[in-house]
Chains A and B, each alone.
Chain A
Amino acid sequence: MPEHSETKRPRGPRGLVVPAALTAAVLLTMALSLSRGRQEIPLETVARLVWLKIVSAEIPPDLRQAETILFFIRLPRIALSFLVGASLSVSGAAFQALFRNPLVAPDILGVSGGAGVGATLAIMLGCGSALLHLAAFSCGLGAVALILAAARLLDKNSSLLVLLLTGMVVSSLFSALGSLLKYLSSDELVLTSMVLWLMGSFAHAGSWPNVGLASLAAVLGVVPLLLARWSVDALAFGEEDARALGVDHRRLRLLLVVCATLLTASSVALCGLVGWVGLIVPHLARLLVGPNFGRLLPAAALGGGWFMLLADFLIRVVLPGEMPVGVVTALVGAPIFVYVLGAGRNKWS
């Protein structure tokens, strides 16, 4: 008799260790980040104020100033950085599943660049927040559509190499369009703010309405991905194989593209271009919990959020001035990526 195999549901305490540890790390970093800054607020005071807010009690007058700093300056910024990190990371995980390639990410594929061009255009034309979001989303979607169409034109089977190459072409195309827009912008002030914004920043974006927008986009983008997690796993062996497995691949692909693009575009519209998160965090998450999409998503979301919290903490507390967050993620991300390449090599080469 063959030895009996174990095919159990991936439930139980073992599957929860990584998400629980990441959640703890996120909360700890948030608390630390709330207490530190230009003006230090002791952790006890942070805890007391949070408690008073939760039970909606009267805030004593001597804590009013700390309350303003915490709840109107630091907390929205911290919440936003978490949401943006989580969104970019989940978006990266979704694109990697769609392209069956661990080396793609929204910034490499030109989705971020496309969304950036849309947002830049909206800024130039003086559009409001809603239009800016719409422009970022539609240009990001346009970038993905362009990649898929060009790849299909070149190669009927849309092989990975062709997809990746067309992604790089589209990426540099949109980067050129972005430069063109900057060149065409005659107003020095608009140009400066555009350039700074494109480098990525939470400094001006950290407001409660923006946190609301980012949460909405995160829910709209992540929930369908979570629901379709088992079908996404079936995609891992190729599109033709997925079709033979009975997957409605057209609908699944559409779902992945729309959700992933929405997540990236909303991040770009709120905080500019922040690279590397969507590439390295899904990798690290995969090393921790394996490639199953249902387990990968929570780990990637929490990990991405945590990564961004740490980057923002560095910017606010450790580094002088207000460095663009895109610069920090790249400086930190590049060496991590080299490490991940080495650690994961035997798993997907």
Chain B
Amino acid sequence: MELIFHNVACGYGGRTVVEGFGCVVGPGDVTCLLGPNGAGKTTLLKAALGLVPLTAGRIAAGGRDLADLGRAGRARLLGHVPQGLSTPFAYKVSDVVLTGRTSRLGLTGRPGAADYEAARKAADELGLGPLMGRPFTELSGGERQLVSVARALAREPAFLVMDEPTSSLDFANQARVMQAVRRLAARGLGVLLTTHSPDQALASGTRAVLMRPGRPSLEGPVAEVLTPENLSRTYGLEVGVFSCRGPDGLERKFCRPVSGGGGRGG
């Protein structure tokens, strides 16, 4: 099943933030949405989740318009990992993961054996076993983010929709979360995520979308989209893309600004 954005326009209260946006997320893809602040990355994710109305175009999965699926149907298809999941109440981690099943319960339903089983499997998938009995509010940022991913997985979605999954995480936790994302994609999940780091897209992405305010977005395989020219034009400073071979013999790519400061590229 593919998640297809076709000529999508959306925004808040009459103000259009994104226009003419198109991209495809297939099984196994890690599609990274990149772009400067205000380019509409988060707005686009919210549009997919049905939190922001479309003003034009359509978003479809498996040949069906998401708008026709209804709230619960859409929630079962798209596992949402919000930016910084938080709550004032000290729910246990196991309870937090279980709330991922809500779309299958209805307003007055209660979880059954299948729901507990799905939550358990999702938690195991991310290695949360030792954390299950701990209060969510006492976890570190990295642990919370893994719980949030497990919660999205608990609904057994076809796609993961993640809003800046590594923002405010330390270096090791960023790596841990992105490793989990790659593993889930390898298992057949389609992942759509926003990020401020082109390095992250170069390291973990299969496809990239560069959103450029006022210009059509660029979409394609990471190697084709995240070129020095495209990155320089999008972010308005000169960017170089480098690659080197690590001790394990694998080639890794990364990028850096290469102008002495605020120089404009391209």
Contact = CB atoms under 8 A, between A and B. Distances in A.
A240 to B, nearest CB: 6
A55 interface: no
B87 A100 contact: yes
A1 to B, nearest CB: 9
Given A233-B99, A245-B102, 15 more contacts: A2-B129, A7-B97, A7-B117, A101-B88, A234-B102, A236-B91, A238-B86, A240-B82, A241-B80, A244-B49, A244-B80, A245-B103, A246-B103, A291-B91, A347-B137
Nearest to B75: A246
Interface stretch (B106-114, B198-206, B216-224, B251-259): B106-114
5 contacts: A233-B91, A234-B102, A244-B82, A247-B107, A292-B95
Contacts of A251: 107
A248 B72 CA distance: 8
A53 interface: no
B76 interface: yes
B51 A5 contact: no
Given A240-B82, A245-B99, A291 B89 contact: yes
Contacts of A58: none
By size class, the interface of chain A is 35 or more
Given A7-B119, A237-B99, A2 B127 contact: yes
A204 interface: no
Nearest to A101: B88
B209 interface: no
Interface in A208-252: 224, 227-231, 233-234, 236-238, 240-248, 251-252
A191 B105 CA distance: 51
A236 B51 contact: no
Interface string B127-160: 1111111010110000000000000000100000
B128 A246 contact: no
Interface of A: 2-9, 100-102, 156, 224, 227-231, 233-234, 236-238, 240-248, 251-252, 255, 286, 290-292, 294, 346-348
A124 to B, nearest CB: 40
Contacts of A3: 127, 129-130
A224 B107 CA distance: 10
Contact of B111 (A102, A230, A237): A230
B90 A245 contact: no
A312 B74 CA distance: 52
A4 B111 CA distance: 20
Contact of B128 (A5, A9, A227, A228): A5
A7 B155 CA distance: 15
Contacts of B13: 156
B51 A240 contact: yes
Contact of B85 (A101, A241, A348): A241
Interface string B113-131: 0001101100110111111
A313 B245 CA distance: 79
Report the contact-size class of chain B (Cβ under 8 Å from the partner): 35 or more
Interface string B13-53: 10000000000000000000000000000000010011100
B108 A231 contact: yes
A311 to B, nearest CB: 27
A291 B90 contact: yes
Contacts of B133: 6
B234 interface: no
Contact of A245 (B75, B91, B124): B75
Contacts of A228: 107-108
A246 B95 CA distance: 17
B92 interface: yes
A348 B138 CA distance: 9
A156 B12 CA distance: 10
Contacts of A243: 49-51, 71
A252 B107 CA distance: 7
A219 to B, nearest CB: 16
B155 to A, nearest CB: 8
Given A4-B124, A7-B119, A234 B132 contact: no
Given A245-B80, A245-B99, A346-B138, A8 B89 contact: no
Contact of B89 (A236, A240, A252, A294): A236
B80 A290 contact: no
8 residue pairs, one from A and one from B, having the closest CB atoms: A246-B103, A246-B75, A3-B129, A291-B89, A2-B127, A347-B90, A5-B129, A227-B108
A244 B72 CA distance: 9
B131 to A, nearest CB: 8
Contacts of A252: 107
A6 B116 CA distance: 9
A242 B91 CA distance: 15
Contacts of A231: 102, 105-108
Contacts of A245: 75, 80, 99-100, 102-103, 155
A236 B137 contact: no
Interface string B45-83: 010011100000000000000000001101110101010
Greatest chain A CB density within 10 A among B87, B97, B107, B127 is at: B107
A86 to B, nearest CB: 21
Nearest to B70: A246
A230 B98 CA distance: 10
A96 to B, nearest CB: 8
Given A9-B116, A245-B102, A102 B88 contact: yes
B71 A248 contact: yes
